[in-house]
Amino acid sequence: MKNKIESLKEDIKNFEISDEKELEAFRLEFLSRNGRVQKMFGMMGEVPNNEKAEVGKAMNEAKNLAQKKFDDKKEELNSEAEVSFAATDDISLPVEPSYTGSYHPLTQALNEIKQIFLRLGFNIADGPELEDDFHNFTALNFPPDHPARDMQDTFFVRKSDDPKKEDHVLRTHTSPVQIRLMKEQKPPVRSIMPGRVFRNEAVTAKSYFQFNQVEGLYVNERVTLGELIETLVMFAKLMYGSDVKYRVRPSFFPFTEPSLEMDVWWQSDKGGQWLEILGAGMVDPNVFKAVDIDPEKYTGFAFGMGVDRIAMLRYGIDDIRVLYDNDIRFLEQFNS
């Protein structure tokens, strides 16, 4: 028995441990529940009583030897790992900047617009991009032969096999959401309606087949043109600063009467110019009739603005196409 213990001690001493794998092999061979040290303790019954004390002491020595070798090697390997980390990676070097992502300039402009109108007491609504002729044109008082219905401006969509039933369109503006809202909700209505719109136009630096609008609508008893203008001026000041130079001029839209447009003065290094930022007007009584609201009882104002134009002015972008290319080199510049 004593010899067995001696040879076990020798094996423990001679076992080579130079990495984690060998450390684990050592543990399995000697220290685990089925390891050689435990097996030896299991043989204690065979030892004559008068030798038990001495053999037990030798066994404990073997066990402690194995445990100490394991602990020491483990610590040694851990500190080596730290040393090799410090040798290859200079942790005092400055970290390479990483791109963390950012909001698209259109999203940033849209968020600003939303914040302003939420402050002015409007809520936010939306509607579908695939519209029918009724919501996109008819209910908005477009006469049947109005040029905006022309194939050149509108993407027509056929939903059934019947070639005569081309009565769906990709919405050409966000104004149809006004119609949906007024059909669902009785006045007072005070909402903005952001969304993507589509026009069948040639793609150039100035025009694209899709862009973004924010529609606005306020319907109540005794809403006036003065309130409309007041709201738009407030918007222009909050968006462009209180010293913004603006003007309001008469215009025409089928769904408003009277109608107007708002321009802001834009100063760049190349000079200054008036830029149209939105169309607006008092809701036409024919629009109220299309949605069963009594035009004798209620009045309202509406407006529609282009988000792309606002983003382009804000960031000095002169080609609308870059807003839709998703080129990461462009987008990275808006990491605010």
| 310, containing H or E segment | helix 307-315
Of 12 and 302, which CB lies nearer to ligand DAH in the complex structure?
Answer: 302
Give the residue among 48, 257, 279, 227 at the shortest CA–CA distance from 122.
227
Compute the least distance from the CB of residue 175 to ligand DAH, in Å.
4
Residue 154 binds ligand DAH (CB under 6 A): no
Out of 23, 59, 219, 302, point to the residue binding ligand DAH (CB under 6 A).
302
CA 192, CA 215: separation in Å to the nearest integer?
5
Residue 177 binds ligand DAH (CB under 6 A): no
Tell me the two tokens of residue 99: 């791109």
Compute the least distance from the CB of residue 307 to ligand DAH, in Å.
12
Per the listing, tokens 């903005």 go with 192
Residue 281 binds ligand DAH (CB under 6 A): yes
Site for ligand DAH in 218-277 (CB under 6 A): 253, 256
Half-sphere exposure of 221 (CA within 13 A, CB side): 1
* Residue with nearest beta carbon to ligand DAH: 304
Compute the least distance from the CB of residue 279 to ligand DAH, in Å.
3
Residue 303 binds ligand DAH (CB under 6 A): yes
| Piece in contact with ligand DAH (CB under 6 A), picked from 44-52, 152-160, 161-169, 278-286 | 278-286
Task: Give the count of beta carbons closer than 10 Å to the beta carbon of residue 117.
Answer: 21
Residue 175 binds ligand DAH (CB under 6 A): yes
Compute the least distance from the CB of residue 235 to ligand DAH, in Å.
14
CA 287 to chain centre: 36
Longest dimension (CA), the chain: 119
Out of 63, 73, 135, 173, point to the residue binding ligand DAH (CB under 6 A).
173
Compute the least distance from the CB of residue 140 to ligand DAH, in Å.
8
Of 105 and 279, which CB lies nearer to ligand DAH in the complex structure?
Answer: 279
Task: Give the count of beta carbons closer than 10 Å to the beta carbon of residue 220.
Answer: 15
Residue 137 binds ligand DAH (CB under 6 A): no
| 273, containing H or E segment | strand 271-283
Out of 105, 187, 279, 300, point to the residue binding ligand DAH (CB under 6 A).
279
Residue 181 binds ligand DAH (CB under 6 A): no
Compute the least distance from the CB of residue 282 to ligand DAH, in Å.
8
Tell me the two tokens of residue 3: 């010899």
Per the listing, tokens 């209505």 go with 189
Residue 336 to residues 241, 295, 320: CA-CA distances in angstroms? 20, 47, 21
Compute the least distance from the CB of residue 225 to ligand DAH, in Å.
12
CA 90, CA 202: separation in Å to the nearest integer?
55
Compute the least distance from the CB of residue 120 to ligand DAH, in Å.
16
Residue 127 binds ligand DAH (CB under 6 A): no
CA 282 to chain centre: 35
Compute the least distance from the CB of residue 213 to ligand DAH, in Å.
6
Give the residue among 212, 173, 208 at the shortest CA–CA distance from 308.
212
| Piece in contact with ligand DAH (CB under 6 A), picked from 50-58, 121-129, 269-277, 302-310 | 302-310
Residue 284 binds ligand DAH (CB under 6 A): no
CA 172, CA 154: separation in Å to the nearest integer?
6
Half-sphere exposure of 292 (CA within 13 A, CB side): 6
Per CB under 6 A, residues contacting ligand DAH are: 173, 175, 215, 253, 256, 279-281, 302-304
